[in-house]
Amino acid sequence: MSNQLANNNIRNDLSADCENCFGLCCVALPYTKSADFAVDKDRGTPCVNLQSDYRCGIHKNLRKKGFRGCAVYECFGAGQKVSQVTYSGNDWRESQAVAKEMFEVFPIMQQLHEMLHYLNEALSLEDAQPIYKDLEVALEETEYFTNLNPTSILNLNIPAHRAIVNSLLQQTSELVRAQARHKKKQKKISRGSDLIGANLKGADLRGANLRGAILIASDLRDSDMRVTDLIGADLRDANLSGANLIGSIFLTQAQVNSAKGNVNTKLPASLSIPDHWSE
């Protein structure tokens, strides 16, 4: 099977399919009352908006109802994997013991599926060819972990595996960004920078390493962010109106959903303009 065909098959399993999930993100995960959540919720407690059919009662109005955090969450397909594969369709409501274990397995599965998402993207990048073999090994091992039984999943050393994957993603980033032209006028920003509210309007950020950068409420209007590494960057309320993110790597739909923008924002082909950008 070719890399591209394999990647396409994997990609189909890395998007949330709420119809085949038991509302796990609405139950297993805790949150605190804040600008992103209207109320407090403990781990393992169903959200007040979760209906008996596992659907969200305010899904179309999450942002307006004070649940913006839910609107930008992404499980990368972990919800349906845990619901339909790990637990073979057995509902958490059937027993307290199953529920407790399922709620512990879910966040681990989410991490594994997130890694699969990034590894899959790395394998789709031509510039990453020198490390394709290592990426494929990491992807296959991660996929294997997702198919283990609950007890084995709970015993996985996720930090150790994430470190291996992260190293490969860093190498991928270096290979891809090497093609970007660096000019004196480019804004120099280091990895993990605190750029809350920063004025980066019209900045030339081509090839920048913005891994983990805190860009909350930053002004990125009309900025050039082509071939930029955005893995883990916090884009909440960042203004991307008119920005060019074509060719940026490791940018997720959840990150885009958390930001502001308009029809002039240029996104990678795999991502779409959120509905709230037109509000």
pTM of the model: 0.90
Give the per-residue pLDDT at 263. Answer: 94
Alpha helices, DSSP H, located in 124-182: 132-146, 150-154, 158-177
Q: Is residue 57 part of a domain?
A: no
Q: Is residue 113 part of a domain?
A: no
Q: Is residue 258 part of a domain?
A: yes
Q: What separation in angstroms does the CA of 177 have from each of 70, 153, 222, 251, 257?
A: 32, 35, 20, 14, 24
Give the per-residue pLDDT at 2. Answer: 44
Q: Is residue 175 part of a domain?
A: no
Q: Which domain holds residue 202?
A: 180-279
Both tokens assigned to 13 = 């399993």
Q: Is residue 235 part of a domain?
A: yes
Q: Is residue 254 part of a domain?
A: yes
SS3 88: coil
Q: Is residue 250 part of a domain?
A: yes
Number of domains in the chain: 1
Q: Which phi and psi (to 5°) does residue 64 adopt? A: -70, -30
CATH number at residue 217: 2.160.20.80
Residues of the chain with pLDDT under 70: 1-12, 181-193, 279
Q: What does the radius of gyration of the chain's CA atoms come to, in whole angstroms? A: 19
Q: Is residue 160 part of a domain?
A: no
Give the per-residue pLDDT at 6. Answer: 44
DSSP 207-220: T-B-TT-B-TT-B-
